[in-house]
Amino acid sequence: MHPVFIAIRRLLCVIALCTSTASFSQQVCSTLTVTGPPQGPPSSWVQDGKLVGASVDFIRHIAKEAGVKEVKFIVYENWSQALEATREGQVDVLFSAAWSTVRSQYLNYIQPAYASQNLFVIVRHGERFPLRRYDDLKSRTGIAGLGESYGDSKFGQFVEKELNLKRSNNIGESFERLMAGEVDYMLAYENAALSEIFLRNLPGKVEIVNTFPYRTDTFITFSKRSKCYAGLADKFSQEIAEAKQDNLFFRLMNKYRDIFNQGAVIFDYRKPK
């Protein structure tokens, strides 16, 4: 066979192989599995056994714009289980994840961050104390949920090295142990904290310390075991940046704050069916 025809044949084989590989990649990522906090309205919570909320709609929008055909949201009992499932590659995407070096070993963070939250210090009514320095927490016993991270910040290092901090299975347990007098304060991010106070009818029974020791950006992340990351990372990043320009997440939060407040008298998101 003439050398020119041989070269053309090889080129066509390469093109066919690339096309096949691209098609396979698209097939793998036509469906994306996603999870996130089950107890953090209005960002996300469980209703009728399904994840709902602002972050859920936000992820669905980002994925659709990135070309994903189907998004499946997986419910786990608590945040710690959601983290572990993503680490193991049981789901592709985890949302509402704060940065930490440890998490970056098994999560790929998509820039930019799409949201942020203050960390609340919550105490029983009448027991609020001034929080001017981190050291003001050292003489007290606190509690926080399993899997909650404060990143590699100065506060995160302080928590690891200096604080007497117990861990609970979820925010509901943290409130129960606080109200039982087992601890002096609890740490919780604002969305989950405010919704739990509302559901448990705790206004007037608990107080939030005036200063916030930590504020975190939250990200959409991919499991490092997900086959979808390479093909979707850049698209997700672009779509998140465009959505932020449009204030999409802020508008979704306002929408779902009203939905949660109106529906909380009917259902309790803490008990997925």
List pLDDT tens digits, range 53-96. Answer: 999 999 999 999 999 999 999 999 999 999 999 999 999 999 99
142-164 average pLDDT score: 92
The dotted CATH code for 3-116+216-263 is 3.40.190.10
Does the structural domain 118-215 have CATH classification 3.10.20.600?
no
- The percent of residues above 70 in pLDDT, for the chain, comes to 86
Structure-block tokens of residue 154:
């100065």
- Position 22 pLDDT exceeds 70: no
Q: Does the pLDDT at position 42 exceed 90? A: yes
For the cut 80, the answer to whether the pLDDT of residue 205 exceeds it is yes
Give the residue with greater pLDDT, 15 vs 131.
Answer: 131
Q: How far apart, in Å, are the Cα atoms of 188 and each of 76, 91, 146, 158, 207?
A: 19, 25, 11, 16, 13
Q: What confidence tens digit (pLDDT) does each residue in 5-20 have?
A: 444 456 555 444 444 4
- The reply to whether domains 3-116+216-263 and 118-215 share a CATH topology is yes
* Beta pairing, strands 107-124 & 185-189: antiparallel
Does 141 score more than 70 pLDDT? yes
Q: List the chain domain ranges.
A: 3-116+216-263, 118-215
- Tens digits of per-residue pLDDT, 253-268? 999 998 988 875 444 4
